[in-house]
Amino acid sequence: MDGCGVWGRVWGGWRRGLRVCAAPKDAGFVTRARHQLQPRGSSKRLGPLGDQPFLGLLQPKNLSREELVEVLRAAVVDQKGKPEELTLLSVLPELSQSLGLGKQELQVVRAPGKETSGLVLLSSCPQTASRLQKFFAHSWRAQRPTATYCAVTDGIPAISEGKIQAALKLEHTDAVNLVVPVKNPSRKDILEGVKKTLSHFRVVATSSGCALVQLQPVTVFPSQLQVHMVLQLCPVLGDHMYAARVGTVLGQRFLLPAESTKPQKQVLAEALLSRLRLTPAQAAQLPLHLHLHRLCLPGMRPRDAPVELLAPLPPYFSRTLQCLGLHQQ
């Protein structure tokens, strides 16, 4: 989770001790970033975001511990690794002190993957954390999505909405953990760590050979959404881990064998680079355009309606939408 962007400030009642952070995807993407987009037909004039392609991308390696704590403290949106690495987890004690929580320890309740931006849910109350974990576990068993991500994909899915099902396993190859699809898994495969995964998707907008896609994972598995979009031959923009599995011959895309395809920097077509106004060197540093946009939490009382938390899109994500002319329908 090294890469937090914007945070926020929580409530009372059973939510006491809860903190929400927006880190660096039916109701639409209703966030501040929505108002940063240009009107239709104005993609040539990007404004202040145009000259800074990765604006808003936070890199803890360039910060001191004190600076990272201050970024996280200032970004609280709602309030009612390894030891040598500077990450969100490593500065939780300082963040707790900065928020005036005294001896109360913060713990991560829900967070996106390491390269994914979006909401990070923290709690300093064990009872609150336990209730939330039970809520998420019950939702997973009931196959009821609680998280909505948005993604920009290189390529457009063949259908506008549907579900993606795949059996996945985690393999350790060349000092890297990679997620690999498994066809027709046996009972032995399931016992040995293969998991059947499911995600819902909906295409929100298309332009320039790319798509703005809403994703709702029903199951939980590392890199699930990235691999699912690769299986649709539409890798997430900035996916430098799995995009190489999609090959192209005479303009037709196809899947390369996952077991023999090593991770490499995502290669984008010249026309797409031109639209994004990026050099090949900049494209090699393109951040993953996968954002945990919305999180559903239980109401204060059993009969209360669920509560929804929204995380603004990072500026670099908004810039990409501008460059590609991707707007909500």
Compute how many other C-beta atoms are within 10 angstroms of the C-beta atom of residue 291.
30
Residue 76's pLDDT is what?
Answer: 59
- DSSP helix/strand/coil, 265: coil
Asked if residue 197 lies in contact with residue 166, where contact means CB atoms within 8 angstroms, the answer is yes
Output the six-digit token pair for 205: 């907008």
Residue 6's pLDDT is what?
Answer: 27
Output the six-digit token pair for 103: 């001896």
In sequence order, which residues have a C-beta less than 8 Å from that of residue 171 and are 6 or more positions away?
Answer: 177, 178, 179, 180, 259
Spell out the domains of the chain, with CATH numbers in brackets: 6-24+26-324 (3.30.2350.10)
Tell me the sheet residues that pair with 212: 152, 205
Residue 184's pLDDT is what?
Answer: 92
Residue 3's pLDDT is what?
Answer: 31
Residue 33's pLDDT is what?
Answer: 31
Q: Quickly list DSSP for 163-191.
A: EEEEEEEEEEETTEEEEEEESS--HHHHH
Tokens 């899947």 correspond to 255
Residue 73's pLDDT is what?
Answer: 66
Tell me how far apart the alpha carbons of residues 206 and 154 are, in angstroms, rounded to a whole number: 10
CA atoms lying within 13 Å on the CB side of residue 13: 7
Output the six-digit token pair for 134: 């039970």
Positions of the chain with pLDDT under 70: 1-51, 56, 58-60, 72-86, 328-329
Which residues in 60-80 are b (16+ Cβ under 10 Å) and which e? beeeeeeebbebbbebbbbbe
pTM of the model: 0.76
Tell me how far apart the alpha carbons of residues 291 and 22 are, in angstroms, rounded to a whole number: 9
Tell me how far apart the alpha carbons of residues 246 and 258 are, in angstroms, rounded to a whole number: 10
Residue 196 backbone dihedrals phi, psi, to 5 degrees: -80, 125
Element (H, E) at 67: helix 65-74
Asked if residue 44 lies in contact with residue 58, where contact means CB atoms within 8 angstroms, the answer is no
